[in-house]
Amino acid sequence: MKKKIITTFLISASVLGAVSFTKPVKADSIKGIVTTKNMARLYNSDGNLISNRALAVNTPWVTDQKVDLNSVGSVYRVATNEFVKASDVELQHGQASTGTVKVGNNGALVYSYDNGKYNAADNKLAKDSMWKYSRVDNINGKTWYQIATDMWINSDDAAKYNGIEVKNTGTATIAYAPDSGTDLWQGFGNDKVATGRKLANGTSWKFFDKVIDFNGDAWYEIGSDQWISGAFTKIHNDKFTQASAQVWDPNYAAVKANKKTAIYSDSNFNSTTNNSISVGQIEQVVSTVLTGNTIWYEKSDGGWLPSTAVSEVSVKRSPVSLNGKSRSEVLNEVINVAKQQLGKPYVWNGKGPNNFDCSGLMQYVFRQVTGQNIGGWTVPQESVGTKVSLNQLERGDLVFWGNAGATYHVGLYLGNNQYLNALKPGTNVKIDSISNSFKPSFGVRIFY
């Protein structure tokens, strides 16, 4: 945010330093910026209210002194003879810095800052929740992170979070990129910088590191600090362990072979077989189909595996962050953004903003509101929260059709037995009512 510089109002630190005061009871030299928490009235050095001046909410102002004025109390000087109440502003301290912290197993106490000290508030953040911060301070051997206006948590309760490193190697083939190709980045996630190079569909690249970043996006390192997004790839793993498979991925699920089984060319037992996997082998899968009583899993590098021979590896996504907002605020925003998509056409694999399929619509809506990826298709989206039964549904829940691990449709529950969805080709995004003839199987609650 830019500092307000009004020549008739704010003056430079050198000029302020030359001004003498006789009215204040006590003055402490200070150098910094105060940001208004609300519409803030101004006072002169006699402690009298200035009737025709006020500071707008959430605006920053240069200050050089904290003063105790008779009848007013603690104030900050923001111009030669103009002061604002300390209770109406927040003094910015520490250093501007951005990033994400993850709360530890014991939760995190929230603190406010006043006159060089951090004071514990009444509220506590839930364990494993993640928060973006805007400033960092170091005091008393602790690092403090500002997660909202006058809300700080410290390094005793939370740690910086850059992503989850996944220990596997293999080959990433660009398969779903636009005609112009996919970007090659220096760095990943929020810290990425475009190199200017594009990688074309059909090209294959060895990768030696994989990360799921704070936003839930997958990244593959194919050179020294050279990264590609996993959203446009087919993956063949040279090394893929149980631990790797248990890390949630927005683009893939994982299965483990219970016995040696053939790899089928299609999702039925009558199709040809051209290879096999051994007992205990773990494979990434990119889609599922239910045929009769058998779930068929499509391998990320081609071929199909039946549920009679493999079982799904259980995963759960790290909590989607509220980013300092309340649960009700985020849910209202999600529903409002979803309703803005009404009338847009269904297109298979459509991810927005002009057209959608069912899972692409949910991915787009939650990305717009939270900045985070809840998964590119229904199976990863199943594990983005906590499973709930239909009689427990609340507005903002995802509703799924099909067996867990093989769902084929998803919508956003609006309450009052209604859900918003992109159903099938030839239809547009619309609101439907739950009916016995087309009843969802279960729900998933993303926010608690």
Give me the torsion for CA of 248, 254, 257, 260, rounded to 10°: -150
Asked whether residue 37 is domain-assigned, the answer is yes
Domain end residue (candidates: 312, 336, 370): 312
The verdict on residue 194 lying in a domain is yes
Domain membership of residue 142 (yes or no) is: yes
Burial group, residue 63, by CB count within 10 angstroms (0-12, 13-18, 19+) = buried
pLDDT tens-digit readout, 236-260: 999 899 999 999 999 999 999 999 9
26 pLDDT above the threshold of 70 = no
185 and 300 together in one domain:
yes
Residue 147 clears pLDDT 80, i.e. is over it = yes
The verdict on residue 210 lying in a domain is yes
Tell me which of 131 and 83 has the higher pLDDT: 83
Q: Is residue 1 part of a domain?
A: no
Pair (374, 361) in one structural domain: yes
Q: How confident is the model at residue 325 (pLDDT cuts 50, 70, 90)?
A: confident
- Cβ distance 54 to 41 under 8 Å? yes
Residue 3 has pLDDT above 60, yes or no: no
Q: Is residue 3 part of a domain?
A: no
Which domain CATH number covers 104?
2.30.30
DSSP for residue 317:
P
Q: Which of 341, 288, 323 is nearest to 190 (CA)?
A: 323
Q: 353: helix, coil or strand?
A: coil
- The SS3 of residue 48 is coil
The least confident of 4-13, 71-80, 129-138, 185-194 is: 4-13
Q: Are residues 129 and 223 in the same domain?
A: no
Query: Helices in 215-326 by DSSP H: which ranges?
Result: 242-245
**Four-residue CA torsion sign, 190, 196, 201, 203:** negative
Same domain, 108 and 129: yes
The answer as to whether 34 is a domain residue is: yes
Are 21 and 133 in a shared domain?
no
pLDDT tens column, 46-67: 999 998 889 999 888 988 888 8
Is pLDDT above 90 for 228?
yes
Tell me how many domains the chain contains: 4
Q: Give the pTM.
A: 0.70
Q: For position 27, what pLDDT does the model report? A: 67
Distance between CA atoms of residues 29 and 67, nearest Å: 9
Residues 272 and 341 in one domain: no
The pLDDT score that the predictor gives to residue 18 is 33
Domain with 118 in it: 95-161
Instruction: Give the burial string for 122-144 (b: 16+ CB within 10 Å, else e).
Output: eeebeeebbbbbbbbbeeeeebb
* Domain end among 161, 187, 211: 161
- Both 307 and 172 in a single domain? yes
Cα–Cα distance measured from residue 52 to residue 73, given in angstroms and rounded to the nearest whole number: 21
Q: Final residue of a domain: which of 63, 92, 121?
A: 92
- CB within 8 Å of 130: residues ≥ 6 apart: 100, 101, 102, 103, 161, 214, 318, 319, 321
Domain CATH code at residue 383: 3.90.1720.10
Q: Are residues 218 and 240 in the same domain?
A: yes
Least confident of 130-134, 167-171, 345-349, 434-438: 130-134
Instruction: Clarify whether residues 262 and 352 are in a common domain.
Output: no
Output the six-digit token pair for 121: 């508030």
Place of tokens 């060895």: 206
